[in-house]
Amino acid sequence: MKNIIYKIVLFTFLLLTIGCSLDYSNPNAAGEDELNNKDALIALAIGIQQQYSVKALDFAVFVPAMSSREVSLVLTNVANQELEKGGTGLLGTNLRVIDLFSSLTRVKGMAETLLETAPETIAPAGTISGLMAWGNFFRAITLGTIVQSWEEAPLVNSRNNDAQFVNRTVALQEAVNLLEAALQQLSSTPPSEEFINLLGQNIDLENSIYAYLSRYNLMLGNYQEVINAANNVDLNSTSVFNYDDQNQNPMYVGMLRPGEVLFYAPRVDFGLPASLLPEAGDERIPFYLTSDASTSLSGLPVLNGTNAPFFNSPTASIPVYLPGEVLLNRAEAYARLAQTVNAVSDIDAIRTKTGASDAFGVGANLPAYTGGVTETELLNEIYKNRRIELHLTGLSLEDSRRFNREGPTTDGDFSTERSRNFYPYPSSERVNNSNTPADPNL
């Protein structure tokens, strides 16, 4: 009976959120505030995951993937063509820019509502602590994802269209603070069996929090904190977003259907430049990519479809994070701290890892690293492996900037490694919120 109640409340709540999903005039609306009972609160928590994994994740992966040359268009679409070309011709009226910002801020607002309401709700302490940790986790990852694409982000959503923006350093630090608060909640009051049964079956919250702490501290340049967080991740643990026939895998729906019409297609050699091509025998190549070569609308070499098991069916589960990212985060932190031996050790852990030994089957099965050990040489090796290991995880644009790869040109030259540094702010936000920052040049 309780499961039926949760489904009814969730359906009602999602109707409300979906009903305003095209209302781009107020993407910072925080959502429902009439959540004064446990069942409604749990339904909201379920809805947060569903809205993020089905709606926001689609744009959070594909939008930066087009800008960083990880994928290329094979089906005509004006908004996508503007995005892929980039340069100064990309404006805040672009529908994909609007979609990305709106979907993320909507989920962030739902998480903020959960965090505001949970402490006032009558429920077992372990259920409340689990819900608070859940809200902090999703608020952190939406905030952290926004600043991978924009120079500034709205720290707290506002119903009055006056959300205040903060620079990406402040936003990333807030994401770190939220994740640390989530850990404290899990530690001080362990989640109840009720919470675990309803929300904790597919996501290992503690390991996911540590993985994202390693990610966001890396973006902040807090290298020792990256190492500390990575050391706390159980690399054999798995966390996934699950899908079904009604809520389908967005990667499959948007792009990766071998033998069917594609919107986007993955680039040959993961879109890497000639100086950093994958090595012969790297088993991640056939794991991710098909061998069916073609050419995109912009004349770039692409492959028709993917072999990755978490992308190739409408109900396939998508990892919340990959264990390889944790190793590569730590390797980069060591390299930037000039701890060469440790950096090489983690590089070797990635290079020699087999699919059978990886929680999601991602393995290069290559020999140990024999290249140079200057910081530049190590970072080039790490960047190459990030591009391959973390294919279509939404990190490619952030990585391209952080590793100082070739930047964009004003006219959107397709030969560059990325078409934009950051995106213009959505026109819908600018029209309604006078606090919207000035657009970046590129």
Q: Residue 151: its pLDDT value, please?
A: 98
Cα–Cα distance, 108 to 312 (Å, whole number): 28
Q: Residue 305: its pLDDT value, please?
A: 80
**Separation of CA 250 from chain center:** 13
**pLDDT tens for each residue of 165-186:** 999 999 999 999 999 999 999 9
Please say whether the beta carbons of 273 and 417 come within 8 A. Answer: yes
Instruction: Flag residues of the chain having pLDDT under 50.
Output: 1-33
Tell me the pTM: 0.94
**pLDDT tens for each residue of 32-49:** 445 679 999 999 999 999
User: What burial class does residue 151 get, using C-beta atoms within 10 Å of its C-beta: 0-12 exposed, 13-18 middle, 19+ buried?
Assistant: middle
Alpha helices in 242-371 (DSSP H): 250-254, 284-288, 323-336, 340-352
Please say whether the beta carbons of 133 and 182 come within 8 A. Answer: yes
Tokens coding 274: 């000639």
Cα–Cα distance, 210 to 229 (Å, whole number): 5
Cα–Cα distance, 176 to 220 (Å, whole number): 10
Q: Residue 33: its pLDDT value, please?
A: 47
Tokens coding 193: 């069996």
Among 414, 411, 416, CA closest to 441:
411
Cα–Cα distance, 156 to 208 (Å, whole number): 23
Cα–Cα distance, 114 to 50 (Å, whole number): 14
Q: Residue 262: its pLDDT value, please?
A: 72
Question: How many alpha carbons lie under 13 Å from residue 293 in its C-beta half-sphere?
Answer: 6
Among 166, 150, 135, 72, CA closest to 392:
72
Cα–Cα distance, 304 to 87 (Å, whole number): 27
The residues, any chain, with a CB within 8 Å of residue 268's CB and separated by 6 or more, are 289, 293, 301, 302, 303
Q: State the CB neighbour count (10 A cutoff) for residue 410.
A: 11
Cα–Cα distance, 428 to 93 (Å, whole number): 8
Q: Residue 14: its pLDDT value, please?
A: 46
Q: Residue 254: its pLDDT value, please?
A: 75
Domain ranges of the chain: 1-203+238-267+291-318
Q: State the CB neighbour count (10 A cutoff) for residue 292.
A: 12
Among 110, 21, 28, CA closest to 432:
28
Please say whether the beta carbons of 340 and 226 come within 8 A. Answer: no
Q: Residue 20: its pLDDT value, please?
A: 33
Among 267, 269, 293, CA closest to 279:
269
Q: Residue 78: its pLDDT value, please?
A: 94
Q: State the CB neighbour count (10 A cutoff) for residue 3.
A: 9
Cα–Cα distance, 376 to 136 (Å, whole number): 36
The residues, any chain, with a CB within 8 Å of residue 39's CB and separated by 6 or more, are 2, 5, 6, 9
Please say whether the beta carbons of 62 and 254 come within 8 A. Answer: yes
- Locus of tokens 């999602």: 14
Domain 1-203+238-267+291-318's class? mainly alpha
